[in-house]
């Protein structure tokens, strides 16, 4: 692995671990930044706060496993799953960052109004963090790809 790929996977891991750590903090009863989620999400979770534990575990695994696999080798399906995860993170984070900022700027006006604290949290914190996580993950995967040309050169030797 190149130094650039290691840096990309490290940035991705940091972003994912920040998300995971905040989920653990909330699962333990912490309340800071809860308003940045919005009442809709908080109402949906309700008294099922225990759901944050598996959410945190998945976030941590998706954050750390690319670093591990890049040192030990990618099991057959994991690289494809990492590509899918990176794409989902970029689309989700990018779309919600853009839409959130359009709402905050007044370009988009939701019919039923919106929760300003939650919109700020999503537009300026959570969704940009998803976007950076996904971009860094995809960047690391791109930098560590095995091109068909390189594979052909290796097998012809």
Task: State mean pLDDT over 104-109.
Answer: 97
Q: What span, in angstroms and rounded, lies between the C-alpha atoms of 89 and 133?
A: 7
pLDDT band at 44 (very low <50, low <70, confident <90, very high): confident
Instruction: Work out the mean pLDDT of the chain and round it to a whole number.
Output: 92
Structure tokens at 28: 């333990």
SS3 53: helix
The pTM for the full model equals 0.89
Neighbours of 116 (CB within 10 A): 12
| Domain hosting residue 53, numbered range | 3-156
Domain count, the chain: 1
Measured N-to-C along each axis, helices 3-27 and 52-72 cross at an angle, to the nearest 10 degrees, of 160
pLDDT band at 149 (very low <50, low <70, confident <90, very high): low
Report the number of secondary-structure helices (H) and strands (E) in the chain: 7, 0
């Amino acid at each position: 692995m190149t130094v650039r790929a290691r840096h990309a996977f490290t940035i991705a891991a940091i972003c994912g671990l920040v998300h995971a750590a905040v989920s653990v903090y909330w699962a333990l009863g912490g309340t800071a930044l809860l308003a940045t989620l919005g009442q809709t999400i908080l109402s949906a979770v309700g008294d099922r706060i225990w759901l944050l534990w598996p959410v945190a575990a998945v976030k941590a695994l998706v954050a750390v496993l690319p670093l591990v696999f890049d040192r030990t080798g990618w099991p057959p399906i994991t690289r494809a799953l990492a590509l899918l995860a990176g794409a989902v993170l970029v689309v989700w984070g990018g779309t919600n960052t853009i839409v959130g900022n359009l709402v905050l700027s007044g370009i988009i006006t939701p019919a039923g109004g919106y929760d300003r604290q939650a919109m700020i949290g999503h537009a300026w914190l959570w969704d940009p963090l998803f976007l950076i996580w996904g971009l860094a993950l995809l960047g690391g995967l791109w930098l560590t790809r095995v091109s068909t040309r390189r594979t052909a050169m290796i097998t012809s030797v």
